[in-house]
Amino acid sequence: MNLSTTLTLAGAVFVLGVTPGPGVAAGVGRALVFGLGSALAFTFGMLVGDALLLLLAIFGLAAIAETMGELFTLVKIGGGLYLVWLGIKLWRLEPAPVGAEPQAGAGFWRTGLSGFALTLGNPKAIVFYAALLPTVIDVTRLDASDVALTVAVVTVILFLVMLGYCSLAARARWLFQSARAMRRLNRGAGTLMIGAGVAVATR
């Protein structure tokens, strides 16, 4: 894969990542309330899901994915409902005292699993890898090093985009210095998560 193709792929993935969608909304919501660490755990799960969808597209396993349609539907609905449940918990969460550390969230693996489920159920990601990616690179002519490079480009670009969104959100948390403002923040973040969950489960 030459430099021109690599840059084209990076640009396409950047557009995919920077366009607000359920993943960005959920990641920002986690960063606002639980801090950057929790948002990065969520992002890790999303990236694993993206890598899986990418490899399915590269190795022509779309047919297998289609035959597993019911399973993917269950994963999508389950992931969406989990995000809705997290959003409801945020609505009911008592605000932390001023200057306190971010609220304690779920563990790394549970948080990552929710990000993984969201990516597998995200129509934007599925359409990109299954339909648009082959227009950017010829997946039938990739050797092992090309596959590794493609996965690396996609993972790094999406990570940097999510890191930017989540870092800004985590810093914005400290703009809320009163219990009332923190309650509004919790509910706003909860609304983002509920919206992301509904978008994932219903598409």
Report how far residue 152's alpha carbon sits from residue 78's, in angstroms, rounded to the nearest whole number: 28
Residue 196 has pLDDT above 50, yes or no: yes
**Stretch 45-74: mean pLDDT:** 72
Task: Determine the pLDDT at residue 108.
Answer: 80
Task: Determine the pLDDT at residue 128.
Answer: 74
**Count of structural domains within the chain:** 1
Residue 164 lies in a domain: yes
Arithmetic mean of pLDDT over the chain: 75
Residue 152 has pLDDT above 90, yes or no: yes
- Domain, as residue range, for 63: 23-202
Q: Distance of CA 146 to CAs 60, 135, 159, Å? A: 15, 16, 20
Residue 15 lies in a domain: no
Residue 1 lies in a domain: no
Residue 49 lies in a domain: yes
**Stretch 137-162: mean pLDDT:** 86
Summarize pLDDT for 90-132 with one digit per residue, the tens: 677 665 544 444 444 557 888 888 888 878 777 667 767 776 6
Summarize pLDDT for 81-98 with one digit per residue, the tens: 766 777 787 677 665 544
